[in-house]
Amino acid sequence: MAAGPRKEVLTGVGVSPGIVSGTAYILSRERMSVNRRDLRPDDVPVEIARFKRAVSTSKDQLEDIRQRATHAIGREHAYIIDTHILILEDRALVNGTLQEIQSSRVNAEWALKRVAGDFIKIFEQIEDEYLRNRRADVEHVVERILRNLLGNPAEGVPDLPHAVIIVAHDLTPADTLQLKREQVVGFVTDIGGRTSHTAIMARSLEIPAVVALGDATGRIKNGDPVILDGTRGIVVLNPDPGTFLEYLERQRRYITHDRELAKLRDMPARTVDGCEVRLLANLDVPDDAQSVLDHGAAGIGLFRTEFLYMNRSTLPTEEEQFEAYRQVAERLYPHPVVFRTLDVGSDKIADAMEKRPEANPALGLRAIRLCLKNIGLFRTQLRAILRASAYGEARILFPMISGLDELRLAKYILDEVRREMIEEAIPFKEDIKVGAMIEIPSAAVIADLIALEADFFSVGTNDLIQYAMAIDRQNENVAYLYEPLHPAVLRLVRHIVESGRAAGIPVSMCGEMAGDPLFSVIILGLGFDELSMIGLSVPRVKKIIRSVTMDEARLLVTRAFDCKTAAEAQETVYAFMRARFPEEITSEGEQIFQP
Ligand code: PEP
Ligand code: MG
């Protein structure tokens, strides 16, 4: 009997916990549907010219890439582009397509797909494995020509027939948002980092995910059976029955543990000696408001409103936004909802907004900077939030504040909108609290000054760490420097909390660090009033907080501050957590992130 496909274990970075199994679906962003169009005899020469143009454009693009690749990775590695150019020059492919357009009088796309199909079949029959695998190169070239024929359409996520695990080179946050939870049980990508917005989206959609696998799209084929362990960052391809059973057992343990945690839902996050921290949830998609409450969150500590602006060609109107915000505010009442104003730019793209390419988008026109340049858009959102504030316990939070000028200007515009609404007799919560996100090092350093003019602080550790360590949070090559316990980060965070305390305003943390149980005790010891995290983390963090005393937490902070390097601090905190919470931290499935 022929042996089945060989089991393979791929290791990446687990960014969204949970264990699932399913069938792989390769999502090629270049893949596009091609329809047949019959031509009138007169149209044939036009179609031939169109195809030749697309081939020549593809060639120019490849030459250009070859030049850049040679520069960047060296001549010997740029050979892959040579292969693509050779395929493009292959007469069987190009002349075959031209003949097909002529003889069958069909559109160029259809003719190319047909001829390429025959071509690919030949590759599939080749015995030599290396040559057989070159089929992917042919597909890439064909896709390139198609893209040029079709004028570069951007591909979204297709409607999928059944439950699958998506395999993609990368997914944008917009793609991730489109994944339908009934169909997609998990996803894996070649690239990506732990705090990229795609990873955050996966966690908030509660879709297990592993990123940074390197070459998942090259190794996994459509239809392959796959087990995905988003907790440990492992993907098993073609699992044998033994492995399958082992993972089923792990999955069972994971689910049982979740059920146990669910019992804490209505209990406060109070330490053994009676200190309480409010645990709130981050909300990315308005529809998830109920699920946040189901996890036992005491409100929404960060509503990322930008997702209302994605996957659409027009901007949301005031009315549309008001409806979405009102529903969330009403659903959560009497719990608070912190509406963070629009934070697009960098990796979060709103298609309806014209955006000039930027060399360093993470350092570019993003969040409050973009709003202060598009005051009309900003005012529309502020009106919608203020109107919704009449229906619940709303607060407003400005993202990416770098200093007092920005905060003052944003507050000035908010005041103008308020005055306008009073004149129009539109009801809103007049004493609405207005906070500043502290996520840029300049703001962290002058937190004492900002605290005097803000009603509350929310520390965005994802960006604070990105900018303090000078690492692009989407770049997996520098992901190792995402070090929440780096002495510089700890000092910045301590200064922010102390500044908030001195000014008498509440301080919250809403970056991913807040939801990682490994950091729960040190965060507690630092003195935060509130933490906001993905819903799934709420019971996990709550369990830890309910098991320690404030003295223990403060002592851990002192010990971490005695460390001179991130590695030392990490070892101190991890050793404490492993000893103190052997079940949560060391047993698989119970820890959201790997140390
Ligand atoms: C952060 O930067 O930590 C944060 C919460 O905001 P975002 O992840 O949306 O940038
Ligand atoms: Mg941020």
Q: Is the pLDDT of residue 177 over 90?
A: no
The mean pLDDT of 47-64, rounded to a whole number, is 88
* Closest atom of ligand 1 to CA, residue 343: 9
Q: Which of 15, 464, 510, 534 to mutate to test the pocket of ligand 1 (most atoms within 8 A of CB)?
A: 510
343-372 pLDDT, tens per residue?
A: 998 777 777 787 778 889 899 999 999 999
Query: What is the per-residue pLDDT for 157?
Result: 56
With a 6 Å cutoff on the Cβ, whether 282 touches ligand 1 is no
Q: Which of 438, 463, 489, 523 to mutate to test the pocket of ligand 1 (most atoms within 8 A of CB)?
A: 463
Cβ burial of 246 (10 Å; 0-12, 13-18, 19+) is: middle
* Closest atom of ligand 1 to CA, residue 200: 8
Task: Please tell me the distance between residue 284's alpha carbon and the centre of ligand 2 in angstroms.
Answer: 13
Please give the Cα distance from 192 to 14 (Å, whole number): 11
Ligand number with the minimum distance to the CA of 196: 1
Please give the Cα distance from 196 to 9 (Å, whole number): 24
With a 6 Å cutoff on the Cβ, whether 284 touches ligand 1 is no
Residue 238 φ/ψ region, left for φ over 0, alpha for ψ in the -120 to 50 degree band, beta for the rest: left
* Closest atom of ligand 1 to CA, residue 461: 3
Please state, as a whole number, how many other Cβ atoms lie within 10 Å of the Cβ of residue 412: 10
Evaluate whether 413 touches 379 at the Cβ level (below 8 Å). Answer: yes
With a 6 Å cutoff on the Cβ, whether 346 touches ligand 1 is no
221-257 pLDDT, tens per residue?
A: 888 999 999 988 999 999 999 999 999 888 888 888 8
Please give the Cα distance from 166 to 188 (Å, whole number): 6
Q: What is the amino acid identity at position 356?
A: R
Query: What is the per-residue pLDDT for 75?
Result: 55
Percent of the chain predicted with pLDDT > 90:
60
Q: Is the pLDDT of residue 301 over 50?
A: yes
Query: What is the per-residue pLDDT for 592?
Result: 41
Ligand number with the minimum distance to the CA of 401: 2
Q: Is the pLDDT of residue 174 over 80?
A: no
With a 6 Å cutoff on the Cβ, whether 460 touches ligand 1 is yes
With a 6 Å cutoff on the Cβ, whether 304 touches ligand 1 is yes
The mean pLDDT of 271-275, rounded to a whole number, is 97
Please give the Cα distance from 491 to 483 (Å, whole number): 13
* Closest atom of ligand 1 to CA, residue 463: 2
With a 6 Å cutoff on the Cβ, whether 439 touches ligand 1 is yes
* Number of helices and strands in the chain (H, E): 23, 16
Task: Please tell me the distance between residue 439's alpha carbon and the centre of ligand 1 in angstroms.
Answer: 8
365-399 pLDDT, tens per residue?
A: 999 999 999 999 999 999 999 999 999 999 999 99
pLDDT band at 479 (very low <50, low <70, confident <90, very high): confident
Query: What is the per-residue pLDDT for 547?
Result: 96
Strand 393-398 with 19-27, pairing = unpaired
Active site residues: 197, 510
Q: Which of 204, 280, 306, 343 to mutate to test the pocket of ligand 1 (most atoms within 8 A of CB)?
A: 343
Query: What is the per-residue pLDDT for 576?
Result: 95
523-547 pLDDT, tens per residue?
A: 999 999 999 999 989 999 999 999 9
With a 6 Å cutoff on the Cβ, whether 462 touches ligand 1 is yes
Strand 456-459 with 433-438, pairing = parallel
Evaluate whether 451 touches 498 at the Cβ level (below 8 Å). Answer: no
Instruction: Specify the higher pLDDT residue, 60 or 400.
Output: 400
* Closest atom of ligand 1 to CA, residue 458: 5
With a 6 Å cutoff on the Cβ, whether 440 touches ligand 1 is no
With a 6 Å cutoff on the Cβ, whether 463 touches ligand 1 is yes
Provide, for the chain, the percentages of residues in helix, strand and coil under a 3-state DSSP scheme, each rounded to the nearest 5.
50, 15, 35
72-129 pLDDT, tens per residue?
A: 444 544 565 677 788 888 888 899 999 999 999 999 999 998 898 888 778 777 776 5
Q: Which of 462, 473, 531 to mutate to test the pocket of ligand 1 (most atoms within 8 A of CB)?
A: 462
Task: Please tell me the distance between residue 159's alpha carbon and the centre of ligand 2 in angstroms.
Answer: 31
Please give the Cα distance from 137 to 83 (Å, whole number): 8
Among 45-59, 369-383, 417-431, 496-510, where is mean pLDDT lowest?
45-59
Please give the Cα distance from 272 to 543 (Å, whole number): 11
Query: What is the per-residue pLDDT for 61?
Result: 77
Query: What is the per-residue pLDDT for 35?
Result: 76
With a 6 Å cutoff on the Cβ, whether 301 touches ligand 1 is no
Please give the Cα distance from 40 to 51 (Å, whole number): 16
